[in-house]
Structure 1
């Protein structure tokens, strides 16, 4: 059986979206004649944890290697544990609302740790893995980021052993990722990021990305082959769920400050004023980490009494909640940088067989996927009337007990089919 070395930072008990992609690839690779050797940190700092995901790891079918990592987040937490955890999980407040601690930590993070705070793992990992690759006669190495420091491990291994095949997987882009501009980079730090990005893109044998928009972006920077393998959904051992009695609109996942959809809050507020029965049935359900600005805005629009905030729960419990919800909300930041982002939860939303209401920028891959699969409605930030009418339409169907969706062509996004696509690159 062919062995493939996979270098990833996120691995159970890590929670959140970062762990799902390669946990599921690894789960199905043995079905296609590939034995995954997964290299992960022994003592990582995970802002979110979900021990239930460990059940997806079959130790008889994979090999897991662990080596210690030094992370500055551990020291920074003495300075401000709360702010450090927020930043490491991607929750960054708007600059006008940032505390001194937040500003200081962002500046240090952006200018002292390039490309990210896991950069100290590169050198010891290269020393350990170079010997392991020779001993085990491994021919293919895969790195996945963010954190993009892991691509630097691949870069150094490729320099030492040009014969290995190196695949660089980008779950998110590098210098155009949404939070990049928030890192308070100096001109020289920005140039260092760009240089490292260029080196990785041009030294890897194969680039893998999660969206067509990212492929087009990277194609300008490198002549190397670029494959699009999206995230997807897996079969979940969860029985059918009774739908919420309330007309629940559920947002699942991190609800970041920049995703604050004031146009949505306005639409909901207007419907509440116009329809007395809507007040009796409406519920906003929040599942996952929610920024304080979102909570404050909900209060500003007097929607707090309609809101049920469950906080961060296990992945399995989140799937249960989304399958119980009447409508699923997908909110993306309104910017050009986020057009390439296809949230992993989109695919789980689609297989939940509940209608999706998505709000984001124009001309995105998300919009195309929702249309192709007939799983909901995609709107932009300047379409308040359409958002309002979509909610009213869904509500009318809810009252008539006819709120259903009829998806098409979901099989192409199953984790097993996506893994088969990956093996074609190996």
Structure 2
């Protein structure tokens, strides 16, 4: 049997800016062939599952199913625990930045506004970006940092091995997720599951969609806010800072019992169940 697994969409409608028409046309043909030939089609979110099923109504609805992204418990067994919060509220992001949907500049502006209104002391805030890539070193990002008075608060670190990155994330007070665009609302990056398993509060700058739903389902794992909502982001940062000053931010975490179904052994069991159905 053939199980076609979609962790991300094969193509987007409308196509991403700069996509050659022939590439978009070819991707549509290849996806249709794959979906038609597969015995089962697995998607990484309910939203992507529904999108694929709606795109191919001639296929039986039972062909499509969802197996979520998740985390590997073994990656977290030997991580150091943060015995106390940091001397400054430390927010860490792991992964590439870009101007399209992983843009930290709204965060910089909201921090500045919260500080100007007396809600946050910027001397007690640290932002760290691991493996931010070219956009992290771009002039537009550097200018935003300077304009918002965050030069001493923001630091960029080069890419590092996965386990070393997890160790750095484990030492944060709060973890930052940046994924805000219309074509990502139906996706949940594996990074978010790892953030939640690290037992850290998550600040997710996302549009309403799959990532926001996951945070709501896991009860208490953090905040979701659209980065275009400057006032809302300011208010969330103010609330997080208030909890940090009260030594209570670390209590905002997703219960482990709510996360166990995202462990990859459990998810592999779901995939095994599909193969068992197909070979019987």
Q: Does 1:292 align with 2:127?
A: no
Deviation of 1:293 (Å): 6.0
Q: Which runs of 5+ in 1 are unaligned?
A: 1-164
The residue number in structure 1 matching 2:7 is 171
The range that moved more, 284-293 or 165-174, is 284-293
Deviation of 1:168 (Å): 0.9
What's the TM-score, normalizing by structure 2?
0.85
- Contact between 2:92 and 2:129, CA under 8 Å: does it hold in 1? yes
Q: Does 1:251 align with 2:85?
A: no
Give runs of ≥4 in structure 1 deviating > 6 Å.
none
Distance 1:277 1:192, change over 3 A: closer
Distance 1:276 1:411, change over 3 A: closer
Q: 2:121 aligns with which of 278, 282, 292?
A: 278
The range that moved more, 247-256 or 288-297, is 288-297
Deviations along 1:33-75, whole A, 9 cap, x unmatched? xxxxxxxxxxxxxxxxxxxxxxxxxxxxxxxxxxxxxxxxxxx
The residue number in structure 2 matching 1:318 is 165
What's the TM-score, normalizing by structure 1?
0.57
The residue number in structure 2 matching 1:209 is 43
- Contact between 1:285 and 1:307, CA under 8 Å: does it hold in 2? yes
- Contact between 2:45 and 2:187, CA under 8 Å: does it hold in 1? yes
Could you say which structure has the greater relative contact order, defined with CA pairs below 8 angstroms and 6 or more residues apart? Answer: 2
Deviations along 1:179-206, whole A, 9 cap, x unmatched? x5244313x4432221111111111111
Distance 1:268 1:357, change over 3 A: same
Q: Does 1:219 align with 2:53?
A: yes
Q: Which runs of 5+ in 2 are unaligned?
A: 276-280
Q: Does 1:330 align with 2:177?
A: yes
The residue number in structure 2 matching 1:370 is 215
Q: How many residues align?
A: 258
The range that moved more, 397-406 or 321-330, is 397-406
Deviation of 1:306 (Å): 1.3
Deviation of 1:277 (Å): 6.3
Q: Does 1:263 align with 2:106?
A: yes
